[in-house]
A and B are shown apart, each in its own frame.
Chain A
C-alpha cells in the first residue's frame, strides 16, 4: 500500500516547454487534488477532482490543465512552462465523503529556467 505516489520527484524545464506531473493513489479514494507550495504562500489549490470524470478549478488554475484519467490517477499538465511556475507541487487524495483526511504525495520540485 504505497498511498499517494508522484512522479517525477525533480524536474528542470526551460521556459515554453511542456510536461505532465503524474499522481496515483492506491487507497480507492474519490477526491484528488493538486497544490503548489511557494515560500510564504502556503499550499495553494490548483485543481481538484471530486470523483472520476470531474475536475474543478481551485485558487490558482491559470497555466495548468488536469486530467482525472481514472479513479487512481490525476495528472497535472503545464502546456508552456513559465518561471513563475517554479514551485513544489503536491498531489493529495481524500476518501470523501466518509473521511476528511487528505493524504499527500512526497511532492515534485519543479524549476523553470
Chain B
C-alpha cells in the first residue's frame, strides 16, 4: 500500500523567511498530492493540491512542486507570516482511489 514520509517533523523559521516541507511516496501510480493545514485546535483544511500532469502549482505565497521520477513533492511557503504557524500534512493517492493516507505532519513555527 501507499506509504508517505514527511520531513521535517518540526520547523521553525523567522517571520518573512521561506519554509519548505518535503514528502516522499512509495506508490509510483499515485497521481494526486494534496496539502492540508491544521491550526491549533481546528480541523485540517486543504490549502493546495497538485496532479501528476504538472510539475508546479502556485497560489499566492504557497507553491507545491512535484518530482515524479524521484517520487517526492514539496510545499513552499514564502514571506512567512504568524498565521502560517500550524501543522501541515501531505498525502499521496490515486485519483478515483478512496483510500487516502497522510504523512505524519510538520509543525511549523513562525518566529517573530
Is A90 part of the contact surface with B, judged by Cβ < 8 Å? yes
Interface size class of B (residues with CB under 8 A): 20 to 34
Among B45, B93, B98, max chain A CB count under 10 A is at B98
Asked whether, in the complex, the Cβ of B102 is within 8 Å of the Cβ of A100, the reply is no
In the complex, which of the residues B9, B45, B49 contacts A100, with contact meaning CB atoms closer than 8 Å? B49
**C-beta contact mask, A69-113 vs B, less than 8 Å → 1, else 0?**
000000000000000000000100010110011101111000000
In the complex, which of the residues B32, B93, B102, B104 contacts A40, with contact meaning CB atoms closer than 8 Å? B104
Asked whether, in the complex, the Cβ of B98 is within 8 Å of the Cβ of A48, the reply is yes
Chain B residues positioned under 8 Å from A56 (CB to CB): 98-99
Asked whether, in the complex, the Cβ of B43 is within 8 Å of the Cβ of A107, the reply is yes
- Number of A residues near B (Cβ < 8 Å) is 25
B51, closest chain A residue (CB): A100
Known contacts A100-B34, A100-B95, A101-B34: A43-B102 contact under CB 8 Å: yes
B32, closest chain A residue (CB): A100
Bound-state CA distance A35–B96 (Å) is 19
Asked whether, in the complex, the Cβ of A50 is within 8 Å of the Cβ of B98, the reply is yes
Can you name 27 A-B residue pairings with CB atoms under 8 Å?
Answer: A40-B104, A41-B104, A42-B6, A42-B89, A43-B44, A43-B89, A45-B102, A48-B98, A48-B100, A50-B98, A56-B98, A58-B99, A58-B101, A59-B101, A90-B44, A94-B100, A96-B96, A96-B98, A97-B96, A100-B34, A100-B49, A101-B34, A101-B49, A104-B45, A105-B43, A106-B42, A107-B43
